[in-house]
C-alpha cells in the first residue's frame, strides 16, 4: 500500500502544468507556430519545461506507488509521458515541433481528464 497523502500534491502539480500548457493551446494552430516567431519559440520552450515537470511528477507517482497505481488507468500511455520527459531533458535539440503540437492538441486534454479521475478516486478511498 502507498501513502495517498504524497500523491495529492503531485496530482495537483500535474493538473497545474497541464492547464498552463492548455491555456495557450487555442492560439497554436499548427506545428509551424512554434518555429516561425520568437513568441512561438518561447511557447515551445515553456511547453517543453512543463512537459518535463509532468514527466517527473508521473515518475514520482510511479515510484511512490511501487509501479502499481498507474496500471489502474490504462487509457494513458504512462511510459510515453515519462519518455517524453527523458527525450526533452536529454535530447533537447532534437525536439520535434510536430510531436509537441500533437501532444498538446491530442494527448494533454485526455491526460487532464485522467488526473481528475485519479484525484476523485483518491478522495473516495480516503473517505472509505
Catalytic, 90? Answer yes
Domain of residue 13: give its range. Answer: 4-127
Q: Is the pLDDT of residue 98 over 70?
A: yes
Report the number of distinct structural domains present in the chain.
Answer: 1
Say what the pLDDT of residue 128 is. Answer: 55
Q: What is the mean pLDDT of residues 74-86?
A: 96
Catalytic residue among 85, 107, 117, 127: 85
Catalytic, 107? Answer no
Say what the pLDDT of residue 124 is. Answer: 84
**How large a percentage of the chain has pLDDT more than 90?**
88
Catalytic residue among 20, 90, 91, 116: 90
- Write out 77-118 in H/E/C secondary structure: CHHHHHHHHHHHHHCHHHCCHHHHHHHHHHHHHHHHHHHHHH
pLDDT tens profile 6-53: 999 999 999 999 999 999 999 999 999 999 999 999 999 999 999 999
Amino acid at each position: 500500500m502507498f501513502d495517498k497523502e504524497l500523491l495529492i500534491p503531485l496530482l495537483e502539480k500535474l493538473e497545474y502544468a497541464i492547464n498552463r500548457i492548455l491555456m495557450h493551446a487555442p492560439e497554436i494552430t499548427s506545428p509551424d507556430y512554434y518555429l516561425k516567431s520568437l513568441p512561438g519559440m518561447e511557447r515551445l520552450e515553456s511547453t517543453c519545461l512543463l512537459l518535463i515537470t509532468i514527466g517527473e511528477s508521473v515518475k514520482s507517482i510511479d515510484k511512490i506507488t511501487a509501479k502499481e497505481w498507474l496500471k489502474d488507468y490504462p487509457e494513458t500511455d504512462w511510459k510515453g509521458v515519462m519518455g517524453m520527459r527523458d527525450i526533452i531533458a536529454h535530447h533537447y535539440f532534437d525536439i520535434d515541433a510536430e510531436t509537441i503540437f500533437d501532444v498538446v492538441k491530442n494527448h494533454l486534454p485526455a491526460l487532464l481528464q485522467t488526473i481528475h479521475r485519479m484525484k476523485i478516486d483518491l478522495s473516495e478511498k480516503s473517505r472509505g
